[in-house]
């Protein structure tokens, strides 16, 4: 692994706390976290990784997680088609509301072609990605139906302490579009339920599958960072997990580390490890350097139990690589928080 040549953010020493209180409050033995996203939340069982690193770093704390994920989808489709706001409202939602939302989901399941707004969503944001096809869309609708029906049978009335809102290549500088618009919709519901919002910014197409000599798609990463700062300020987000920023920082000067599979663009085990450590840094404003947490298992494997590149699904991070990723997870969160504070005061954050 090549060492970084320059990394000016290492000089930053300020640790900025987005919210006044810390999650591990006195006497708080449990923390409930809801994850809303897609495969970038599902791959590597990210919520389970977050649970593991949180419970190691905060002895006595039990972390309960639930993920509401739909492959290839975003917060727009979560809200408009799959009615995922229901699960954010689990502590108060009525059976009547659930039945009403089931009816809305069922209505979409009767269509024979994709809604035009769904098809046009990426292009409306200046993106080249495509939404999943009709058969995939209907599979997701069926899964949304089953989850709502299960909630009618047994609603545990969970009150979420935190909701993680995942981006999906839909960040736009106009917060009334894309990720910003729909994150604000979910944030409004979260505020009504006393739930703090965490912004999880993903890094599709920034993750390198082969060694690189420098940071990838820097302008795109800058836009994502800008959107995350503006959105965090607008909704008073509890924390931000800026994965593109961390990967760009590691790529600075070149790196042999890779963050997606050669045969699949999803986050590999290295990205899973980095992201879990970033969640800890974002929540607790502390580094995980020295933690025992070291294992990530890819949960998408072939018939022989191998990951998409034919490697072992289970990867154990050791030595310099482990320590470096732990350090960079903290440095990236610290640098983002510093830039957020600088923007709030009108200072230069470049």
pLDDT range class, residue 350, cuts 50, 70, 90: very low
Which has the closest alpha carbon to 169: 115, 235, 114, 243?
A: 243
Contact 194, 92 (CB under 8 A): no
Three-state DSSP state, 306: strand
Quick: pLDDT tens for 97-148.
999 999 999 999 999 999 999 999 999 999 988 999 999 999 999 999 999 9
Task: Spell out where the chain has E strands.
Answer: 30-37, 62-69, 162-166, 196-201, 239-242, 260-261, 264-267, 295-297, 314-316
Structural domain contains residue 317: yes
Chain-centroid distance of CA 61 in Å reads 22
The confidence score (pLDDT) of residue 11 equals 32
Predicted confidence band at 3 (pLDDT cuts at 50, 70, 90)? very low
End-to-end Cα distance, the chain: 27
User: Do the bridges between strand 30-37 and strand 196-201 make them parallel or antiparallel, or are there none, so unpaired?
Assistant: unpaired
Q: Residue 145: how many CB atoms within 10 A of its CB?
A: 17
Q: What is the DSSP letter of 138?
A: H
Distance CA 106, CA 338 (A): 46
298 located within any domain: yes
More confident residue, 297 or 7: 297
Of 18-22, 247-251, 297-301, 335-339, which gets the smallest average pLDDT? 18-22
Q: Note the pLDDT of residue 347.
A: 58
> Can you tell me the mean pLDDT for 303-317?
98
Share of the chain above pLDDT 70, in %: 90
pLDDT digits (tens, 9 = 90+) for 69-87: 999 999 999 999 999 999 9
Domain assignment present for residue 278? The answer is yes
CATH no. for residue 169?
3.40.50.1110
What range defines the domain where residue 282 resides? 29-343
- pLDDT of residue 295 exceeding 50, the answer is yes
Domain presence at residue 46: yes
Q: Which residue has the tokens 């006393």?
A: 194
**89 CB-near residues (< 8 Å, 6+ apart):** 97, 189, 193
Q: Count structural domains, the chain.
A: 1
Q: Which two tokens stand for residue 237?
A: 């987000």
* pLDDT confidence of residue 1: 42
pLDDT digits (tens, 9 = 90+) for 253-292: 999 999 999 999 999 999 999 999 999 999 999 999 999 9
Residue pointed to by tokens 């408009």: 80
Is 318 among the domain residues?
A: yes
Q: Which of 25-29, 152-156, 318-322 has the lowest mean pLDDT?
A: 25-29
Its pTM stands at: 0.91
3-state secondary structure of 83: coil
Q: What is the pLDDT of residue 19?
A: 37
Please say if the pLDDT value at position 26 is more than 90.
Answer: no
Position 307 in a domain: yes
Residue 161 maps to a domain: yes
- Is residue 13 included in any domain, yes or no? no
State how far the Cα of 183 lies from the Cα of 199, in Å rounded to an integer.
8
Report the pLDDT averaged over residues 180-195.
98
Mapping DSSP to helix (H, G, I), strand (E, B) and coil, where does residue 312 land? Answer: strand
Please say if the pLDDT value at position 5 is more than 80: no
CA neighbours within 13 Å on the CB side: how many for 106? Answer: 9
pLDDT at 17: 32
């Amino acid at each position: 692994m090549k060492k970084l040549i320059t990394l000016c953010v290492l000089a930053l020493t300020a640790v900025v706390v987005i919210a006044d209180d810390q999650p591990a409050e006195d006497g708080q033995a449990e923390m409930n976290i809801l994850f809303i996203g897609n495969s970038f939340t599902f791959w590597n069982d990210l919520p389970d990784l977050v649970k593991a690193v949180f419970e190691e770093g905060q002895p006595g704390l039990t972390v309960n997680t639930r993920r509401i994920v739909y492959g290839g989808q975003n917060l727009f489709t979560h809200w408009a088609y799959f009615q995922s706001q229901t699960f954010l409202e689990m502590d108060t939602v009525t059976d009547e509301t659930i039945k009403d939302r089931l009816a809305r989901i069922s209505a979409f399941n009767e269509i024979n072609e994709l809604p035009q707004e769904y098809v046009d969503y990426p292009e409306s944001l200046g993106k080249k990605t495509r939404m999943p096809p009709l058969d995939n869309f209907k599979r997701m609708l069926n899964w949304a139906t089953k989850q709502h029906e299960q909630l009618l049978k047994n609603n545990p009335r969970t009150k979420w302490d935190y909701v993680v809102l995942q981006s999906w290549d839909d960040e736009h500088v106009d917060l009334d579009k894309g990720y910003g618009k729909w994150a604000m919709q979910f944030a409004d519901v979260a505020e009504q339920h006393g739930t703090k919002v965490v912004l999880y910014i993903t890094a599709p197409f920034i993750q390198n599958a082969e060694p690189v000599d420098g940071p990838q798609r820097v302008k795109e990463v800058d836009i994502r960072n800008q959107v995350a700062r503006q959105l965090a300020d607008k909704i008073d987000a509890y924390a931000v997990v800026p994965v593109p920023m961390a990967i760009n920082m590691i790529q600075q000067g070149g790196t042999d580390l890779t963050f997606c599979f050669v045969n699949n663009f999803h986050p590999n085990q290295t990205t899973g490890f980095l992201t879990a450590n970033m969640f800890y840094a974002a929540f607790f404003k502390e580094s995980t350097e020295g933690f025992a947490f070291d294992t990530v298992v890819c949960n998408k494997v072939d018939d022989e139990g191998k990951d998409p590149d034919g490697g072992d699904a289970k990867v154990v991070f050791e030595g310099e690589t482990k320590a470096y990723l732990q350090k960079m997870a903290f440095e990236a969160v610290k640098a983002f928080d510093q830039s957020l504070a600088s923007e709030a005061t009108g200072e230069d954050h470049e």
